[in-house]
Homo-oligomer: A and B are copies of this chain.
Amino acid sequence: MEISELGEFGLIERLAKDIKTKNESTIKGIGDDCAILAPTEGMRTVVTTDLLMEGVHFDLTYVPLRHLGYKAVMVNLSDIFAMNARPKQLTVSLAISSKFKVEDIEEIYAGMRLACEKWGVDIVGGDTTASLTGLAISITAIGEARSEDLVLRSGAKPTDLICVSGNLGAAYMGLQLLEREKVIYNDQVEQARKSGSKEQMELLREAQPDFSGREYILERQLKPEARGDIIEALQKAGIHPTSMMDISDGLSSELMHICKQSQTGCRIYEERLPLDYQTAAMAEELNMNVSTCALNGGEDYELVFTVPLAMNDAVSALEDIRVIGYITEPEKGQALISRDGGEHELKAQGWNPLKS
């Protein structure tokens, strides 16, 4: 169905009918000039926002719309968890070009609802409008935490242990794989077009690249999970991080933020970087250094955090968390100790679309 058949209000009505709010703190969702929230007494509110642009943050030639919606939400929830807070509400703005049908927008929303349901988050408002060019998605997420539970980037102290959840570099390897297959496919189409072979064109239209054995890195790229489970595990274990961030631009970049804002240095060990087998295999195949991918790949949406040295046993006992180094005095700088024992300055080559 064409969006113009419904218009803005018709489209919003159609999308809103599947959206039910569940949080006690959500007094009124979609349908007025503003959403109305009742913050829990004595709690702090945390707010984060992200703007995703077609062609910069996602490529619709290989990203399914439902996954895109899911990821757009998870990326924001990840920022809420990184404060050691719990997400409660979010607003969604979409700018859509004329190539989109009503069903496309419903797919995006289906993915968003799925991500929201996973963490009990209410969609409480937004804006739906036209775009002359690509798709734009803007999400603002709102969460809550007790003041004393909040974890900033600035609380790391020398001797604190540096921990990361999950493994790193997988989403980046997934992206490399998708980009490679896109180039191959486009080349094949171009050749078929030149040769004028209708049969070949037909075959290509049906073709699906073989991604078997690569499912994990693809899923990490296309359908990342915000690590609310880690936040819950830390709370259960009584571990309060001294600093924390989510890893969106790459571990190196995030560690440099923590060190800068905590006025410390850091020392991490290459051999401690957590890697999945598929990440390593893909890096090998693409002739890339897997440690570089883990340090700078970005879009991991894992958590990097620091805990006091005394917490070593407690944090090491937790599943899916690894100690990769420790915080130092600022004059020691930010160092990576390579497998051969060499010391290298950590550099943030993280994803930075505004840097040439």
Number of copies: 2
Interface check A36, CB cutoff 8 A = yes
Binary interface profile of A, 70-93, with partner B (CB < 8 Å = 1, else 0)?
Answer: 000000000110110100010101
B51 and A94 contacting across the interface, CB-CB below 8 Å: yes
Interface check A48, CB cutoff 8 A = yes
Instruction: Name the interface size band of chain A.
Output: 35 or more
A268 to chain B, nearest CB (A): 20
Q: Which residue of B lies closest to A142 (CB)?
A: B47
A68 to chain B, nearest CB (A): 16
A328 to chain B, nearest CB (A): 22
CA distance A8 to B125 in the complex (A): 28
Residue of B54, B147, B154, B355 touching A132 (CB-CB under 8 A)? B54
Interface check A246, CB cutoff 8 A = yes
Interface check A23, CB cutoff 8 A = no
B50 and A150 contacting across the interface, CB-CB below 8 Å: no
Given the interface pairs A47-B89, A125-B49, the reply to whether A79 lies near B33 with Cβ below 8 Å is: yes
Residue of B11, B132, B352 touching A56 (CB-CB under 8 A)? B132
Considering only residues 41-68 of chain A, those with a C-beta below 8 Å from chain B are: 41-51, 53-57
Interface check A230, CB cutoff 8 A = no
B132 and A356 contacting across the interface, CB-CB below 8 Å: no
Considering only residues 318-356 of chain A, those with a C-beta below 8 Å from chain B are: 352-356
Which of A24-32, A162-170, A183-191, A277-285 faces chain B? A24-32
A45 and B50 contacting across the interface, CB-CB below 8 Å: no
CA distance A180 to B50 in the complex (A): 36
B153 and A32 contacting across the interface, CB-CB below 8 Å: yes
Given the interface pairs A8-B352, A152-B28, the reply to whether A91 lies near B56 with Cβ below 8 Å is: no
Binary interface profile of A, 230-271, with partner B (CB < 8 Å = 1, else 0)?
Answer: 000000000000001110000000000000010000000000
A283 to chain B, nearest CB (A): 26
Q: Which residue of B lies closest to A5 (CB)?
A: B356
CA distance A41 to B40 in the complex (A): 9
B128 and A9 contacting across the interface, CB-CB below 8 Å: no
A133 and B130 contacting across the interface, CB-CB below 8 Å: no
Q: Which residue of B lies closest to A27 (CB)?
A: B44
Considering only residues 1-32 of chain A, those with a C-beta below 8 Å from chain B are: 2-4, 6-9, 11, 27-28, 31-32
Interface check A95, CB cutoff 8 A = yes
A34 and B80 contacting across the interface, CB-CB below 8 Å: yes
Please list the residues of chain A having a beta carbon within 8 angstroms of any beta carbon in chain B: 2-4, 6-9, 11, 27-28, 31-39, 41-51, 53-57, 79-80, 82-83, 85, 89, 91, 93-96, 124-134, 136, 138, 140, 142-143, 147, 150, 152-154, 244-246, 261, 352-356
7 A-B pairs with the lowest CB-CB distances in the bound complex, closest first: A4-B356, A7-B355, A138-B138, A51-B93, A133-B133, A34-B46, A130-B353
